[in-house]
């Protein structure tokens, strides 16, 4: 996969040289190219921002440097294939970044990122880009960062680990929370390693039993309990068809039952006994 990032702070993206993403680059699985936005200015002050039309606080990023930077990226595709990148614009007003969106982006051969500083980029840049390439405006959460660079790091890391060959088998993403399949919409429960007893705290006995069926069932119950505690909003997305009779029993113990009329799992209201 090729990834281009245009930013006024290329040094902010240095973590892309480290760990999983750094290794994927070194192995040629990821081709990451950073571009300094100020290289595309034409005045002595290398200005990238100006005051907003209509008034208000803060500054807005000027269209010309962004257009020049994006043109340079698109033009570097090579005449033959006519391929364009998918432009990812991190913004708190974007569509929520989820594992499903990470999967979708991991299927594209080429991503370009346009992280903004200040109040954002002049809207016409995004509207014009959308006429030439797919554009996805993405929020990594309901909070406001000082700029989109950290969001780029988040998105690139989540996407890179899904690319074929990036993770070894031992660290596969099949069992990730939120991944489609049996763990969909479930948070992972606790994990343990040696020693078997630490500061008078033993590891749960079942994990030492060697009984893989029992261990899998225990982990799943832990995931149900964790999800109920941390993300009760996920419960109504659980799929009845993904639950076997052991699951239904474990869920009943946690006060969750299948509600046929609504076609959803529901928690027993607090204080109400079955
Ligand atoms: N830029 C500033 N805040 C952001 C957020 N929450 N997500 C993506 N980009 C951002």
- Please give the pLDDT value at position 268: 81
248 CB burial (10 A radius; 0-12, 13-18, 19+): middle
Residues facing 136 on adjacent strands: 88
- Please give the pLDDT value at position 172: 76
pLDDT tens, N- to C-terminus, the chain (274 residues): 999 999 999 999 999 999 999 999 999 999 999 999 999 999 999 999 999 999 999 999 999 999 999 999 999 987 556 699 999 999 999 999 999 999 999 999 999 999 998 899 999 999 999 999 999 999 999 999 999 999 999 999 999 999 999 998 766 787 787 877 778 899 999 999 999 999 999 999 999 999 999 999 999 999 999 999 999 999 999 999 999 999 999 999 999 999 999 999 999 876 666 5
Question: Which listed residue (4, 122, 149, 176) is catalytic?
Answer: 176
- Catalytic residue flag (residue 176): yes
d(CA 144, CA 150): 11
Q: What is the DSSP letter of 150?
A: H
- Please give the pLDDT value at position 125: 98
Residue 248 has φ and ψ, to the nearest 5°, of: -60, -35
Helix (H, G, I), strand (E, B) or coil at 134: coil
Structure tokens at 18: 């480290």
Ligand 1 pocket residues where CB is under 6 Å: 90-92, 139-141, 143-145, 148, 151
User: What end-to-end distance do the CA atoms of the chain give, in Å?
Assistant: 53
| Residue 125 vs residues 3, 62, 116, 135, 140: alpha-carbon distances, Å | 19, 9, 12, 11, 21
Sign of CA dihedral 146, 149, 153, 155: positive
Rounded to two decimals, what is the model's pTM?
Answer: 0.93
d(CA 24, CA 46): 34
Residue nearest to atom 5 of ligand 1 (CA): 92
Question: Which listed residue (92, 108, 137, 236) is catalytic?
Answer: 92
Q: What is the DSSP letter of 121?
A: B
Residue 7 CA to ligand 1 center (angstroms) comes to: 14
- Please give the pLDDT value at position 274: 54
d(CA 236, CA 274): 19
Residue 68 CA to ligand 1 center (angstroms) comes to: 23
- Please give the pLDDT value at position 226: 98
């Amino acid at each position: 996969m090729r990834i281009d990032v245009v930013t006024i702070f290329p040094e902010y993206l240095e973590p892309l040289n480290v760990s999983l993403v750094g290794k994927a680059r070194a192995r040629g699985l990821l081709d990451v190219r950073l571009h300094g936005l100020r290289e595309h200015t034409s005045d002595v002050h290398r200005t990238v921002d100006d005051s907003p039309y209509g008034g208000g606080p803060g500054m807005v990023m000027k269209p010309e440097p962004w257009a020049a930077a994006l043109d340079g990226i698109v033009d570097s595709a090579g005449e033959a294939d006519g391929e364009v990148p998918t432009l990812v614009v991190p913004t708190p007003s974007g569509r929520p970044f989820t594992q499903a969106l990470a999967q979708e982006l991991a299927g594209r051969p080429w991503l370009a990122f346009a992280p903004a500083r200040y109040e954002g980029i002049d809207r016409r840049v995004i509207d014009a880009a959308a006429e030439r390439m797919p554009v996805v405006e993405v929020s990594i959460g309901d909070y406001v960062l000082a700029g989109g660079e950290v969001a780029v790091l988040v998105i690139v890391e989540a996407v890179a680990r899904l690319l074929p060959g990036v993770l070894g088998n031992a660290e596969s993403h099949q069992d990730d929370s939120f991944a489609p399949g049996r763990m969909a919409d479930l948070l992972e429960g606790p994990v343990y390693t040696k020693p078997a007893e630490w500061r008078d705290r033993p590891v749960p006995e079942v994990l030492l039993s060697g009984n893989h069926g029992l261990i899998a069932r225990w982990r799943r119950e832990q995931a149900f309990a964790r999800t109920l505690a941390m993300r009760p909003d996920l419960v109504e997305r659980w799929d009845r068809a993904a639950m076997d009779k052991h699951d239904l029993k474990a869920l009943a113990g946690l006060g969750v039952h299948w509600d046929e009329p609504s076609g959803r799992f529901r928690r027993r209201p607090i204080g109400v006994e079955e």
